[in-house]
Amino acid sequence: MLLLAAVVLCVEIQKKGEKSPGSSGYLIVDANGGLNQQRSAICNAVAVAGLLNAILVIPRFELNSVWRDPSQFGDIYDEEHFINNLRGYVNVVRELPEALMERYDQNISNIPNFRVQAWATVNYCLGVVLPILRDQRVIRIAPFANRLTMNVPSHIQLLRCITNYKALKFSPPISSLAEKLVSRMIERSSMTGGKYVSVHLRFEQDMVAFSCCVYEGGEAEKLKMDSFREQEWKGKFKRKDRVIVPALNRIEGKCPLTPVEVGLMLRGMGFDNNTSIYIASGKIYQAEKHLAPLREMFPLLYTKESLATPDELAPFEGHSSKLAALDYTVSLFSEVFVTTQGGNFPQFLMGHRRFLFNGHSKTIKPDKRKLVVLLQDMDISWKAFKDEMEVMLAESDRKGMMVPRVKKFNRKTSIYTYPLPECACLQSSNNSTFRLSEGANVLNSHHESTR
């Protein structure tokens, strides 16, 4: 019944698009943040365009001060695929018509920036944004991440599904190398039937600095991190109203897990040294020092840098979003995905894996507060630690299989993390954004934990 209702919705939305007599105008959005925050903005932009009956101009990407990636939409995603797969739902164009460009001296930046409140409601969009769009014929909204509530009509919600799982396909250079990395990862996992574990390890210098957590570097590390924070965030951490207590951050589970902590957790959960591990990460903070103990526990440890040749990676250097897209794809087809810190990357990835594998994708999301207490207990035995990790794993599995209740106009969870039931009809069409014949077959045929 659920699938049938979703299929009906697919037909319903196409009919709605066909009945639209004319557009209200053109919608321009500036997507901000990293790869998956931009992805959220793109999906929301399509949804807003559908809600307002607007023509969407290919989203522009802001140059983020942290990511510093100058890539634009066509560098990350296949533009032609995006436009074609939204045809019949939302009209998408690469640029404004000449008449409108002349009005703004051929410069989109001259179009006044309309500030939309975060998590804007449907009534706000229709009552405030739509009249301005109709009057001006073009509206520009920046920044655009999280500018639409999760509670929208079902046919608009489905636009997010179509965009995320059908229209957004990585560009050919990214898809080509990503496919090679997945294949190589499967080949190197022969002892476990081609199955591997991916770990999203957020232990880059910017994450360590931003968390304000203290590790083992002593005074020298503190001075380095203080300098880095000032350089990157200009006084944000020196405000009088900001109280920083590193020990409290750690107890509350806000500190990024170190590679060795992740290793201990996985070994405690039963993963042995024959397990193939893929590390999805930016540049690890003091990588040589911190990755060494993890590599001792898991000799079959790989990264995109170890799987690809220098020549293959050369075009991606300096483009953090392109590199993140490689990590995203390799993690997407892993047998088990381990998230250690939260953020847009794991939220989108967990949802994509739920969508791709009909909800049967294994994700380990540790209870960091409990884990910190156990790791700090110098008297705990290895057996007792393992027992606790097995309980934590079982609880993670239980929560991972939960499907939130979705009532009409009352979705409180992210559709990007929990895509069902609204996105169910797309599963039957085999139109996922990226499907490897070999990788998908391996994972679909035998989807059990790698131990």
Give the pLDDT band (50/70/90) at residue 126: very high
Average pLDDT over residues 247-265: 92
Asked if residue 134 has pLDDT above 70, the reply is: yes
Reading the block at residue 391, the tokens are 């309980």
Picking from 255, 278, 293, the residue at the C-terminal end of a domain is: 255
Residues 197, 213, single domain; the answer is no
- Rounded mean pLDDT of 262-276? 95
Q: Which domain holds residue 47?
A: 21-169
Domain boundary among 255, 290, 318: 255
The band of 406, judged by pLDDT with boundaries at 50, 70 and 90, is: low
* Pairing state between β 55-57 and 26-31: parallel
High-pLDDT (> 90) share of the chain, %: 59
Mean pLDDT of the chain: 86
Distance of CA 437 to CAs 140, 182, 424, 441, 443, Å?
40, 11, 21, 6, 10
Task: Answer whether residue 440 shows pLDDT above 80.
Answer: no
How many of the other CB atoms lie within 10 Å of CB of 231?
Answer: 9
Tally of structural domains, the chain: 3
Q: What is the pLDDT of residue 422?
A: 87
Could you tell me where the DSSP H helices lie in 111-199?
122-124, 130-136, 154-162, 172-187
Task: Give the range with max mean pLDDT: 30-44, 64-78, 298-312.
Answer: 298-312
Asked if residue 421 has a cis previous peptide bond (ω within 30° of 0), the answer is yes
pLDDT category of residue 451 using cuts at 50, 70 and 90: very low
For 140, phi then psi, to 5°, come to -120, 130
Q: How confident is the model at residue 447 (pLDDT cuts 50, 70, 90)?
A: very low
Query: Which of 28-32, 80-84, 428-432 bottoms out in mean pLDDT, i.e. has the lowest?
Result: 428-432
**pLDDT over threshold 60, residue 244:** yes
* pLDDT tens digits, one per residue of 345-393: 999 999 999 998 876 678 999 999 999 999 999 999 999 999 999 999 9
Q: Tokens for 324?
A: 């993140």
Residue 428 inside a domain? The answer is no
- pLDDT recorded at residue 348: 94
Residue 287 maps to a domain: yes
Question: How much of the chain, in percent, has pLDDT values that exceed 70?
Answer: 86
Q: What is the pLDDT of residues 144-192, one digit of tens each?
A: 878 899 989 989 999 999 999 999 999 999 999 999 999 999 999 998 9
pLDDT at site 214: 87
Residue of higher predicted confidence among 9 and 62: 62
pLDDT at 26: 96
269 & 130 share domain: no
What average pLDDT does the segment 239-267 reach?
89
- How much is the pTM? 0.88
For residue 286, the number of C-alpha atoms closer than 13 Å in the C-beta half-sphere is 14
Q: What are the structure tokens assigned to 79, written together?
A: 């533009």
438 belongs to a structural domain = no
Return the higher-pLDDT residue of 127 and 451: 127
- Is residue 448, in this structure, part of any structural domain at all? no
pLDDT at 17: 46
Q: Is the model's pLDDT at 143 over the cut of 70? A: yes
Alpha-carbon span 393 to 265, nearest angstrom: 10
Do 239 and 209 have their domain in common? yes
The stretch 308-312 carries a mean pLDDT of 97
Same domain, yes or no: 53 and 72: yes
**What confidence category does residue 222 fall into, taking pLDDT thresholds of 50, 70 and 90?**
confident
Q: Which pLDDT score is estimated for 445?
A: 38
Same structural domain, 158 and 238:
no
Residue 49, pLDDT score: 97
Q: Is the domain of 145 the same as that of 267? A: no
Q: Are residues 83 and 225 in the same domain?
A: no
**To which H or E segment does residue 73 belong?**
helix 73-76
111 & 231 share domain: no
434 within a domain of the structure (yes/no): no
Distance between CA atoms of 79 and 324, rounded to whole angstroms?
19
For residue range 4-57, list pLDDT tens digits in order.
555 555 655 555 544 455 789 999 999 988 899 999 999 999 999 999 999 999
d(CA 344, CA 47): 19
**Rg of the chain over all Cα atoms, to the nearest angstrom:** 23
Whether residue 149 lies inside any domain: the answer is yes
